[in-house]
Each structure stands twice: as C-alpha cells, then as structure tokens.
Amino acid sequence: MNKAVFLDRDGVINHTVVKDGKPYAPRTLEEFVLNPDIKELTRLKNLGYYLIIVTNQPDVANGIVTRAFVEDLHARINKVFPFDAIITCFHSDKDNCGCRKPKPGMLYQARDTFNINLAGSYMIGDRWRDVLAGASAGCTTLFLDHGYQEGAPVFYPNFTYGSLAAAIEWIESRSRNKSTK
C-alpha cells in the first residue's frame, strides 16, 4: 500500500483572506497568494508520499465564485508544484454530502484511487474540519495554527505547528527515523 500527505488548500497551500479573525477562501486572483513553503513538499515526494489536496469549496454552491474559477486556481497551483491529485468538494453544509470535511469522503476517494494506507498517512490542515476528517479516516493529523478567531468544536490534532515548513520537517524526520530502524 502507498502512503500520502493530504493537505487542505486554503490556509495551507495558499493564504486565506482573514476578515474579523475568520478565514475565507480567495475570491479573486488578486487575493490568491501561494504559500512559498509548498516547494518544500518535494522533500516528502522524494520519500515516496502521494501529495493530495483535499479542499472544501462551498463558495461554488453558494454562488460566490464559479467552478471554473476554482479549477483555474488549481491549475495555477499545479504549475508551481505538481500534486498527485486535487480533490474538491463543491457542496455547502446544507447538502450534507459525504465528501465535505469534516467527513472523510475525499480521503476515502484518494485511498481507493491510489491504494493508500490511511493509518500510515497524514492530514495537514488549518481548520477543525480538516483535523476531524483526517482523524475520522485514521490519519495522523497536523494542525497549522494561524490564530483564527472562530468558534469550533473541540478537536485534538496529533500535532500543532505554526507553518507548513515545520510540519513538513516533522514528517520528513519521522519518516527517515522509521526507515533507519
């Protein structure tokens, strides 16, 4: 079986737009700023991890942005760093679908497509929904704490970091230690 690092998009791969302490997905090209740390993901790719973005994009269902806009952003991401997959849920909470985080449907889809051992994989996210989806799928969860001021259910990530680079370094270190034993 294969191993993967699942990554949320907004707040991990690209910066969020923060208004009144709450994070929002970019709604214009001007707001879309990639996290320079994504180039560090090469280190995990070299260790054999599949790198898969799993992202909720409810602004499509809510009529705020188009699906074509979101897909254009994903094409821009893949020009900078070629991910193995970008799996997107375009639903809103009211749709009650199985793919929208905190449900683990997108991770299960990737598992089935790429023959992934979820217990040997990681989920990196900056919101409680990401952590719960990863935990529900059986992944080790890494929370990027950006200090958002949002109410959230109680969640307990396995580890908390302040940056994507720090999370990548920890996974790399852990993977190298496992391979030398």
Catalytic residue numbers read 8, 10
Structure tokens at 35: 């996290």
Signed CA dihedral, 128, 130, 131, 137: sign only: positive
Distance (Å, whole) CA 37 – CA 147: 18
Residues sharing a CB contact under 8 Å with residue 48, sequence separation 6 or more, in sequence order: 2, 3
DSSP letter, residue 65: S
CA angle 35, 12, 50 (to 5 degrees): 100
